[in-house]
Structure 1
Amino acid sequence: MNNMIAWFRYLNVLVKKEFLTIFKDPSNRVILFAPALIQALLFGYAATYDVNHVDYAVLDQSRGQHAYGLLSKLDGSGIFKRTATLQNADQIKQLIDQREALAVITIPADFENKLNQGQSSPIQVIVDGRNSSTAAAAAAYINAVVSQYNQQELAVSAPVNIETRTWYNPNQESRWGIMPSLIAALSMMQTLLLSALSVAREREQGTFDQLLVTPYTPLHIMIGKALPPIFVGLIQSSIILLIIMFWFQIPMNGSLALLYFGLVSFNVAVVGIGLSISAIALNMQQAMLFTFLLIMPLMLLSGLLTPVQNMPQILEMATYVNPLRFGIDLAQRVYLEGAQFDQVKMDFVPMIVIAILSLPLAAWLFKNRL
């Protein structure tokens, strides 16, 4: 019993020492928490795939009532802004090349006559495909306006109509899908960097040798180095969570306890990777370099930017050693879907396995690296 009390007393002293190292400098306190706040706001406003503004141009060769009515619906939609009215088809290429318009609509000369005779009349839509997602969204919006014009003004409708209901994101705002992912993604960067610098800092300052001759075991050192970054990661996740809930007012449908249980598992896995880097690196510069080299692949293979299912099979297999993939999936499903533990339990398995493998590796490296 006394040995266990002494064990926890040693650990408590080491954890306090790590917290003092992290927080004693006022500038460090700002650097640890201000980026999470700023990045969450920037992502919320800037990183969106919603198309809310489309510059377009028109080549109206008909100049009839129906052409005017169709273009009026586009102009009145609040999304489309006409930047040019063309006189001939030769002007289209220059307009698209100079990015003065995302789309160019061409209405043929016989458009009015064909509609008056009850015939169908095609219109041409040319979109700038250099940004394929924006171009596809703009084309879909134009198609929706044309379909609405057909039904309301020409009384022409298809025999089968599709009625769409969107679950978990009724307004189809891309922000709703991105922001819950940031609860894990943004906190990972600081957590990984803090844990990667912990041992490298002491090795560079010459205090790690002194730490090894104290009564601390490698397990003491590993836990003492791991707890402060985990705590910082949870604080950053909490800041981002509050911004999502109260600033962007995205409703949370799931359990807060389950979300934090998942975040703890995620941070433990990330800290295990960071401590392994720290034990390998000879100095802080190496630790920072290894961390920055690792962060980008972790982000790209996480599903934050592109779905994992769309990746080549070999890269999809590589995502199983990426804790961020499962942290993002868990945060999204719990936050938006209201998923229960049974539905996200398979997200915990890879994170726990990564932690079980990386933390003992870090402890072994602490003992044998010097």
Structure 2
Amino acid sequence: MIDPVVRGRLWAIIVKEIWAVLRDPRSRIILIVPPFLQLIVFGFATTLEVKNIDIALYDRDGGVWAREFSQRLAGSPNVRRIIPVRSPAELRDAIDNRQVIAAIGIDQRFSADIAAGRPATVQAILDGRRSNAAQIVAGYLGRITVDMGASVRPQLKAPGGSIVTHWYNPNLDYLWFTMPALVVIVSTVTALGVTAQSVARERELGTFDQLMVSPLRVHEILIGKMVPPLLIGLFNATLYTILIPTVFGVPLTGSVPLFYVALLFYMLALIGLGMLISCLSQTQQQAFLGMFLLTVPAILLSGYASPVDNMPNWLQWVAEFNPPKHFLIVSEGTFLKAMPPGDILANTWPLMAIAAATLTAAALLFRSRME
């Protein structure tokens, strides 16, 4: 049982910190703007898919099979517009001026070769300045070419073939990848932003000295400053956990209680990092910049932008100490593939270790600043 006097002091400091967060314009912006902005941006704008592409077509044949190929190209759901060009110079200019991401050249004997049963080829020129998009577009063009070849010479189709099944995301819907990661990103921004302002706000407003002479003990002050960002982070994560399946149709297939266990330790790890930033900052502006400097690398090393396995070995070791990296695995696994409890716990214990280390370091630094 907690002593009634201690419970009263804890309640007082928690209420005081909640009101301080709600009264501060900067904190209100952090609470309101990023979640809704990220919901819109990540939900509708950020995607690695390549759609609405423009392709230049240099058709030197004009025959029936050249028209068939151009019609198949124009009928692709990913192609927005086919731009005819009449010379190699126009084709080069279309690529150089970024009018198109790819150009198709059809040889003058294309239809004749197909009619005579000879191999026929098309030339694809891609804009290498957009390397990732160019590779994806090359895959689109290759698929269209293969499908046309199979329809022209069905007897050459290999017997049997292969059947491709995409587990956990059958339609390769990019929202199914983005939305579980959004829970991680929103929780990161919220927890770090609110916590980083707490002690810095006291210094800037001149109330830090009042805390030092108050009857509150150091651990009670720390608990009071950590509870509001924890509650706010849990609220935002809960809101997104409800909206993602209902609004965006992303399935939630795993264990929700285990998800919240991992979320709790994830929030504690972030709060410890935010408290370190706040203790080191003299003003709220410094705290905001410190939070920003930490948030961007944390998200980049989480595996959202690019897989951690693609990073250099030394950077993969650094990512192991990054809380978003572990919780992203839990979030995606809980939403998409009903991750087993053992796998969730395997990614939760690193969060426990990081939370213990950051909270201890924050407590020691805060105590030293109090003294």
Matches within 5 A, 1:171-186: 171-186=171-186
Q: Distance in 1 between matches of 2:357 and 2:77?
A: 54
Q: Distance in 1 between matches of 2:290 and 2:76?
A: 50
User: Does the 8 A contact of 2:279 with 2:369 survive in 1?
Assistant: yes
User: Does the 8 A contact of 1:330 with 1:347 survive in 2?
Assistant: yes
3-state DSSP class of the match of 1:52? coil
Task: Report how far residue 242 of structure 1 moved.
Answer: 2.9
Matched residue, 2:129: 130
Greater Cα shift, 151-160 or 60-69: 151-160
Q: Distance in 1 between matches of 2:136 and 2:268?
A: 40
Are positions 1:356 and 2:356 aligned together? yes
User: Does the 8 A contact of 1:218 with 1:364 survive in 2?
Assistant: no
Matches within 5 A, 1:212-227: 212-227=212-227
Matches within 5 A, 1:108-257: 108-155=107-154, 156-159=156-159, 161-257=161-257
Contiguous gaps of at least 5 residues in structure 2: none
Matched residue, 1:62: 61
Task: Report how far residue 83 of structure 1 moved.
Answer: 3.5
Q: Distance in 2 between matches of 1:39 and 1:108?
A: 47
> What is the one-letter code of the residue matched to 1:349?
W
3-state DSSP class of the match of 2:320? helix
User: Does the 8 A contact of 2:177 with 2:332 survive in 1?
Assistant: yes
Greater Cα shift, 73-82 or 227-236: 73-82
Task: Tell me the TM-score normalised to structure 2 length.
Answer: 0.94
> What is the one-letter code of the residue matched to 1:238?
T
User: Does the 8 A contact of 1:83 with 1:101 survive in 2?
Assistant: no
Greater Cα shift, 140-149 or 284-293: 284-293
> What is the one-letter code of the residue matched to 1:314?
W
Are positions 1:90 and 2:113 aligned together? no
The one-character-per-residue Cα deviations of 1:245-278 (angstroms, maximum 9, x if unpaired) are: 2221111111222222221111110000111111
Are positions 1:320 and 2:324 aligned together? no
> What is the one-letter code of the residue matched to 2:350?
P
User: Does the 8 A contact of 2:303 with 2:325 survive in 1?
Assistant: yes
The one-character-per-residue Cα deviations of 1:177-231 (angstroms, maximum 9, x if unpaired) are: 1110110112211210111110111122222222122222221111111110011
> What is the one-letter code of the residue matched to 2:287?
A
Matched residue, 2:45: 46
| 367 and 30 in structure 1: CA distance in 2 versus 1, 3 angstrom threshold | closer
Q: Distance in 1 between matches of 2:182 and 2:31?
A: 16
Identity of aligned residues (%): 33
Matched residue, 1:81: 80
Are positions 1:258 and 2:239 aligned together? no
The one-character-per-residue Cα deviations of 1:16-39 (angstroms, maximum 9, x if unpaired) are: 111111124688546513430221
Task: Report how far residue 285 of structure 1 moved.
Answer: 2.2
Task: Report how far residue 336 of structure 1 moved.
Answer: 0.9
The one-character-per-residue Cα deviations of 1:147-174 (angstroms, maximum 9, x if unpaired) are: 1112223323235623210011111122
| 78 and 31 in structure 1: CA distance in 2 versus 1, 3 angstrom threshold | same
The one-character-per-residue Cα deviations of 1:303-333 (angstroms, maximum 9, x if unpaired) are: 1100000001111111111111111111111
User: Does the 8 A contact of 1:59 with 1:106 survive in 2?
Assistant: yes
Contiguous gaps of at least 5 residues in structure 1: none
Q: Distance in 1 between matches of 2:92 and 2:316?
A: 40
User: Does the 8 A contact of 1:47 with 1:175 survive in 2?
Assistant: no
Are positions 1:19 and 2:24 aligned together? no
Task: Tell me the TM-score normalised to structure 1 length.
Answer: 0.94
The one-character-per-residue Cα deviations of 1:113-147 (angstroms, maximum 9, x if unpaired) are: 22122111111011112222211111111111111
User: Does the 8 A contact of 2:30 with 2:190 survive in 1?
Assistant: no
Task: Report how far residue 67 of structure 1 moved.
Answer: 1.1
3-state DSSP class of the match of 1:369? helix
How many residues of Structure 1 are paired with residues of Structure 2 in the alignment? 369
Matched residue, 1:298: 298
| 242 and 12 in structure 1: CA distance in 2 versus 1, 3 angstrom threshold | same
User: Does the 8 A contact of 1:58 with 1:82 survive in 2?
Assistant: no
> What is the one-letter code of the residue matched to 2:207?
T
Greater Cα shift, 246-255 or 330-339: 246-255
